[in-house]
Amino acid sequence: MLRQKTINTGKLYQMIDAHNLRQAFRLLNAANIGVGEKPENYEAALVRELSDTYDIVREITKGLALFDIFRYSYDGLNMKVVLKARTAGIDPMQSMTILGTIPKADIIEGLRNNDIPGLPPEMVLAAEEARVVLESENDPQKADIIIDKAVLGAMFRIAHEYDNVFFQKVVRSKIDIENIRSLVRIKRVGKDVQFLESVLCRGGYIDCEKLVKVFAGGIRDIDTFIGSTQYGPSLSRAFEGLETGSRLTLFEKLCDNYMLKFVGEAYRVVFGIEPILGYIFEKENEITSVRMVMASKLASIPANTIIERLREYAW
């Protein structure tokens, strides 16, 4: 039951070939998503679909906290929204997501009292640190970094509290991929090594010190280094273009594809919790892919450009 997709590959490509947003949305309705909604409200429909997925997982696993670690990024997003809204003096509720582990109202109240019951302590501490940064330095980017690192840190700690090697590998690989993204992005925009050090998160397979060292070279040096790691075969194709100054689109796509393929190995396990993890990642990617198609239709982006941007879809 968990393996079945709501939007299979064929249906996705039908949406890509649709003439406009309304036609693509009708195909989404045929999969029982967004029925009764206006096409322009596709985002709300997709969020509800993903929320339902997490509800199914929670029911199947009887609330096993291990699976909550993949929702911490949504909690982190809500924390960012609330803290920035407070600084700007606006209501954050409409900009928050329902996909976190903590209800939106509880996040708002918890940040008001500097205590958010149910969230990992790393994230609670990060919220306070981010608040201070916003109030004293007015630096939203630095505040985001603090929270993002806390999310990854909480994922790493909790994954290692459970005796499941595959979960631990997934989290450590995710940390590496995020660090590699940061390395390349920061190099491209010309920020200094101190900024890179503030962004990198420990816990992956690649030592942060090695990433800092290779940062001193150019994109070719970074390519050579990444090529010597387990991520080289998946990412090397992107570096050819990066050396000549091309956009990061292919690089970002290949980073995502690596994680999707890696987690896809979970389906090879017949018994255990691994297939449920695979289901979560597959559903997240399904929603991301549909969102990309719908947003592209809204912006009248050609079908061939949409296909170029899509992540791996069928395992």
Backbone phi, then psi, for 280, in 5-degree steps? -60, -50
pLDDT band, residue 202 (cuts 50/70/90)? very high
- What DSSP state is assigned to residue 311? P
40/56 Cα distance (integer angstroms): 27
DSSP per-residue string spanning 200-255: --S-SSS-HHHHHHHHTS-HHHHHHHHHTSTTHHHHHHHHHHHTTT--SHHHHHHH
Q: Is residue 24 part of a domain?
A: yes
- Over residues 45-103, the pLDDT tens digits come to 999 999 999 999 999 888 888 889 999 999 999 999 999 999 999 999 999 999 999 99
User: Which tokens sit at 197?
Assistant: 């050090």
Report, in angstroms and rounded to the nearest whole number, the Rg of the chain calculated over CA atoms: 20
Q: Is residue 19 part of a domain?
A: yes
201/147 Cα distance (integer angstroms): 11
CA–CA distances in Å: residue 237 to residues 114, 182, 232, 234 = 45, 18, 9, 7
- Over residues 114-125, the pLDDT tens digits come to 889 999 999 999
Counted domains in the chain:
1
- Indicate whether 1 pLDDT > 70: no
CA–CA distances in Å: residue 88 to residues 44, 58, 95, 214 = 25, 35, 13, 39
Question: What pLDDT is recorded for position 7?
Answer: 86
- Indicate whether 280 pLDDT > 60: yes
Mean pLDDT of 172-184: 97
Burial of 137 (0-12, 13-18, 19+ CB in 10 A): exposed
Smallest CA-to-CA distance from 53 within 259, 257, 281 is with 281
Q: Is residue 45 part of a domain?
A: yes
Residue given tokens 């499941």 in the structure block: 164
Q: Is residue 18 part of a domain?
A: yes
- Indicate whether 313 pLDDT > 80: no
Smallest CA-to-CA distance from 288 within 255, 310, 259, 266 is with 310
Give the CA count within 13 Å in the CB-facing half-sphere of 15.
Answer: 31
Q: Is residue 303 part of a domain?
A: yes
**Number of Cβ atoms within 10 Å of the Cβ of 204:** 21
pTM of the model: 0.91
Q: Is residue 77 part of a domain?
A: no
Mean pLDDT of 243-248: 80
Question: What pLDDT is recorded for position 123?
Answer: 97
pLDDT band, residue 2 (cuts 50/70/90)? low
> What domain range is 297 assigned to?
1-64+273-315
Residue given tokens 């909690």 in the structure block: 75
Q: Is residue 112 part of a domain?
A: no
Q: Is residue 6 part of a domain?
A: yes
